[in-house]
Structure 1
């Protein structure tokens, strides 16, 4: 996966609560160079990229969001972290099972037919305020598009990183075929849990 250096440097600097000059000292460049990196005007040469990654991966400087992203990447269960944006959600991280079984090793959810229900749920949840900070989470039951005897309990959790960017953490858990699972899978909309308990 290609690194977005502008985003990486800016989020790292904000997380560490550093001014550009202090960040520049830590990675061995000038303040002007950090400014240009954050603006996406330059790509770091190998030694600078290595210094940035060492700083980002140091457990003492890693954010909770970085830990969440790593948890998704290394999960033995199907899970996904989507970043929201004006062009729709994009994959930030995906477990190996999610990438193989649902994304077909593609990083775009709109190109993954197995995720049609996810896209539909996200559209409905967004209209209900998922990204506005008043929804704690939501859940739904899906029937597998390719195997009608396999069901998934799906959990949607909105989160923000240290820069305020919006993400949605999605986890799937297999359910046994049962009348209750079949009835729940027929529900048109996910169940929403709001912060006020409604």
Structure 2
């Protein structure tokens, strides 16, 4: 059985908007993808973590730096393929990062993946755009107005990384919008749509 690593943040973990709880199996996209991949003899490794970044350390929550945690995850699992979706948390105002810098961090994470996985078996996902007014107190004040603009410009820089590394890329924002309740996370419908998108990309790239 092949193993597919899904490495990301709260939208990979399956956070329910406006809560600290997780969507159940059968709702979050990683579980829906697993169900689709059963017939291909592929096991999904769910490695989502709320607040995870590409390269930044969260001053309030430990172990959120994706680049630091990825090597151990790879060595303990030896996956055959990977889907990596990071960058939303990098848009927080405290990191003061632009799309170029965030993409450079993502590229370093991809370099770690390439130590274990061939480029043809890696898919970068440029995350959904942050919603308007996400920075307001009732949503997530860790972001600011500029964060939305940064999120909207990630794909162009991520595409350059994908071409440089020879890996596939998908823009989640082309298919999924954030929940209106928090302007940041997938709805159940978003999870369903995204599972279909990734499944089709796995077929297109012949990973599945």
What TM-score do you get using the length of structure 1 for normalisation? 0.25
Q: Highest Rg: 1 or 2? A: 1
In proportion to residue count, which structure has more strand? Answer: 1
What TM-score do you get using the length of structure 2 for normalisation? 0.25
- Relative CO higher for 1 or 2, CA cutoff 8 Å, sep ≥ 6? 2
